[in-house]
Amino acid sequence: MIQIRNIHVRAKHVLLHDMNLSLPAHRFICLVGASGSGKTLLLKRLLDRLPDGMSSSGEVISDEPLRRGLDIGYIPQQYTDAFLPFLTMRQMLRDTYRAHGRKMDHPYIDDVLRTLELDPTWLDRYPGELSGGQLQRFAILFAVTLKPRLILADELTTALDPVLTRRLLDWLTEYQHQYGATILFVTHELGPALHYGEQLVLMQDGRIVETGTPQMIEQSRHPFTMSLMQAHRTSPEERKSSCTQSYP
Amino acid sequence: MYPVLSVTDLTYQIKDQPILSNISFHVTKKASIGIIGESGSGKTTLGRLILGLLKPTHGLISLHGKAFPSGHRNERRAIQAVFQHPLASFNPEWTVRESILEPFRRHRPILRHFPATSEENLMTALALAVGLEERLFDRLPHQLSGGQIQRAAIARAISIEPDIIVMDEPTTGLDVVSRAQIIELLERLQQTLGVSLVLISHDIDFIRRLCSETLVLRDGRAVDLIDRLESGSAYTQRFVEAGTW
């Protein structure tokens, strides 16, 4: 269990307003909100990596130690920035194990490569020699290299095709069950969150609006949640009432 | 109906490596064609070929029955693009207003729907058409949100009343509400301006809502050209199912 208590982040303005949230262990939790709602900032606060010029108060309490890199795996939204351009994937992987005094777990790495449909020969490539989709999957490999108990995945599926999106989320679910991990998946898309999430946390303008299971969110009477659900639904009749702006 | 855009047997190769092979389809007035497929299937390359940004190895693209691109000035007005990352398509040092007016100033088109009497009148009409407050046009591109800059890119594309707009992943990165509003906006523009749309997207629901026909690409080849997503091959069915939440 991770407890977020009175987390408050500000720069010139308040960006996260007194957040209180309990993240149960071994769950697939989805953090859903529009751009600018504070989702990524909350992840960065959990990682203790707030950008310069921001101050924060409040605390993050965990039942178990959460050491960055070892217990927490982070898949950043800007995954291309996560690689050193002058090292191959294999060199970076080896350095990751060395940094934590571990031996490379070849069978595990081979298994992850296979699941993520990454060709093992690509390990000898530099980041500039791989496509965006391939780099994104390598970012996942690096995040899970040391089998962390908590995975923070920021907009993991943006720009991925539907088949790959499902494959990655299925695999994260398997990982969660196999290693008893907690997944915190940040997304602006409600569909994957309702499908994969065991608990959803909805955010707006730096505040938590509502938390609950997918069923609770689908039946919620909260105006913000209802507007998200309405925009998400497929029927044009249902959709019309969610777009109230009038055009010529 | 007479096609606005025709693509016939289009093939594109890089060093004898086929990227797209024998693609054919056409788009009529007010119609929308969706182009879907896995990453690396050739969707964006097809979009760039349609825009005349790449030269086909063989095959033909025609606009209103004439080979495109021919180099005629007016044909550039007829086909406009909204790219995957709209922010990157705006000059970061110009206000959004300056960027939107740039194609209008270059083409000086005769407009049927928007008032061309003055730039101010045109901008007011465009703001209303895309549902943006006009004051936002005086900001720099990075000062707009993802949904706002997407609307601004659409405003720029429609400002010269093109016959076709090619859009590459227009909903990527948009939250559900912004996305629903963009769908509503495109439906409306199609009806009011009579524009045809070529929509390249991973977003199956977006394609389902807007497109009268869908081309499914796999490894650079057309797997299906269908009017209902549910009527495609087994491959298309799996793909559509994966993208339906």
Q: pTM to 2 decimals?
A: 0.82
Cβ distance of B37 and A161 shorter than 8 Å = yes
Residue ranges of B 110-169 with Cβ closer than 8 A to chain A: 125, 128-131, 145-147, 169
Share of chain B above pLDDT 90, in %: 68
Report the CATH fold assignment for B3-242.
Rossmann fold (3.40.50)
Strands, sheet with B79-82, edge to edge from the N-terminal-most edge strand: B66-67, B58-63, B3-14, B17-28, B221-226, B213-218, B32-37, B196-200, B164-168, B79-82
Q: Is residue A245 part of a domain?
A: no
Residues of chain A contacting residue B38, judged by C-beta atoms under 8 Å apart: 161, 163-164
Q: Domain ends where: A148, A165, A182?
A: A148
Q: Are A211 and A227 found together in one domain?
A: yes
Over residues B4-24, the pLDDT tens digits come to: 999 999 999 998 899 999 999
B70 has pLDDT over 60 = yes
Q: Are A120 and A45 found together in one domain?
A: no
Share of chain B above pLDDT 70, in %: 100
- Rounded Cα distance, A223 and A241, in Å: 13
Q: CA of A25: how far to CAs of A7, A149, A203, A217, B168, in Å?
A: 19, 9, 20, 20, 39
User: Could you give the ipTM of this predicted complex?
Assistant: 0.77
- Print pLDDT tens along chain A (248 aa): 899 999 999 988 899 999 999 999 999 999 999 877 899 899 999 988 898 889 999 999 988 888 877 899 999 887 777 899 999 999 999 999 999 899 999 999 999 998 888 999 999 999 988 877 788 889 999 999 999 999 999 988 876 889 888 988 999 999 999 999 999 999 988 999 999 999 999 999 999 999 999 999 999 999 999 988 988 875 444 444 443 333 33
Q: Is residue A40 part of a domain?
A: yes
- Give Rg (Cα) of chain B: 18
Q: CA of B160: how far to CAs of A2, A47, A51, in Å?
A: 54, 48, 42
Q: Domain ends where: A148, A167, A193?
A: A148
Half-sphere exposure for B201 (CA within 13 Å, toward CB) = 29
Q: What is the nearest CA distance from A240 to chain B, expressed in angstroms?
A: 8
Provide the token pair at A199.
């608990």
Q: Is residue A96 part of a domain?
A: yes
Residues of chain B contacting residue A160, judged by C-beta atoms under 8 Å apart: 39, 202
Cβ distance of A247 and B188 shorter than 8 Å = yes
- Rounded Cα distance, B42 and B222, in Å: 10
Residues of chain A contacting residue B176, judged by C-beta atoms under 8 Å apart: 188-190, 228, 231-232
Cβ pair A4, A23 in contact under 8 A: yes
Cβ distance of A228 and B179 shorter than 8 Å = no
Q: Are A160 and A56 found together in one domain?
A: yes
Q: Are A134 and A176 found together in one domain?
A: no
Q: What is the nearest CA distance from A102 to chain B, expressed in angstroms?
A: 35
Domain that holds residue A32: 2-66+150-240
**Number of domains present in the structure of chain A:** 2
Q: Is residue A112 part of a domain?
A: yes
Q: Are A136 and A161 found together in one domain?
A: no
| Count of beta carbons in the 10 Å neighbourhood of residue B121 | 12
B118 has pLDDT over 70 = yes
B/e letters for B193-211, b = 16+ CB within 10 Å, e = fewer, are bebbbbbbbbbbbbbbbbb
Provide the token pair at B208.
């389902």
Cβ distance of A248 and B175 shorter than 8 Å = no
Q: Where are the domains of chain B?
A: 3-242
Cβ distance of A234 and B208 shorter than 8 Å = yes
Q: Is residue A73 part of a domain?
A: no
Over residues B23-53, the pLDDT tens digits come to: 999 999 999 999 999 888 999 899 999 999 9
Cβ pair A64, A149 in contact under 8 A: yes
Over residues B136-165, the pLDDT tens digits come to: 999 999 888 888 898 999 999 999 999 999
Residue B181 confidence class, pLDDT cut points 50, 70, 90: confident
